[in-house]
A = this chain, B = another copy of it.
Amino acid sequence: MAKVVLDVTMSLDGFIAGPNDDVERLHDWLFSGTTAGNSNRSASVLPGRESFKTSGGSTEVLEESFKSNGAVVMGRRTFDIGERPWGNNPPFQVPVFVLSHRGREKVVKSATTFTFVTDGIESALKQARAAAGQKNVALMGANTAQQSLKAGLLDEIQIHLVPVLIGDGIPLFEHISRKHIELERTRVIEARGVTHVRFRVVK
């Protein structure tokens, strides 16, 4: 059955983006093994498939995640930021469900469809599971991840741990329950600079 997975790049101090949603510095690490380089990619929320080919040691891990995803759930904020840079051929190429208070007609862009879900995380995940079939449902965005965790609906977390302290930005784990959530570490991969650590959420 489809698993709900969170696959995300995080600084050692727990941020998945800097202030102003800047993820360039973190993604630079995934792609060049250093945050010092300049990025000239246009997609700032999620690097497109093309970018993956230029990656260093993390390529295989990212490709593996991408290939295993049959649907995506993201927040409206992520969609709004990404819509323009993703262009007419967004990198997902699977059904995407966008959590939103505001309804909107389904958006079809090449192989990617965006369906707007106004009745909450459980509904979005249910629709995404149905669309994903045997594949996984991937979450995007801190808020979506937190909601899924709180609802007990997240199955797996893979952190691409980037060796930098950014000091400010969007924290991945905030507003989650004060009840401890136990994890089981299921895999560690040392790529160039980046450490990919995978966990199963114990239920």
Q: Is the CB of B167 within 8 A of A177?
A: yes
Q: Smallest CB–CB gap between A54 and chain B, Å? A: 21
Residue on B nearest A168 in the bound complex, by CB: B178
Q: Contact partner of A165 among B167, B176, B195, CB < 8 A?
A: B176
Contacts A14-B173, A173-B12, A199-B12 hold; do A164 and B180 have CB atoms under 8 A apart?
yes
Contacts A14-B14, A188-B195 hold; do A164 and B183 have CB atoms under 8 A apart?
yes
Q: Is the CB of A163 within 8 A of B199?
A: yes
Q: Is the CB of B185 within 8 A of A163?
A: yes
Q: What size tier do the contact residues of chain A reach?
A: 35 or more
Q: Give the chain B neighbours of A197 by CB distance below 8 A.
A: 161, 195
Q: Is the CB of A176 within 8 A of B13?
A: yes
Complex Cα gap A199–B176 (Å): 28
With an 8 A cutoff between CB atoms, is A21 at the interface?
A: no
Complex Cα gap A128–B164 (Å): 27
Within 8 A of B (CB), among A142-175: 149, 157, 159, 161, 163-168, 171-173
Report 15 cross-chain contacts, Cβ distance below 8 Å, ordered by A residue.
A12-B183, A13-B14, A13-B173, A14-B14, A14-B171, A35-B182, A161-B197, A163-B182, A163-B185, A165-B176, A165-B181, A167-B173, A168-B178, A185-B193, A195-B197
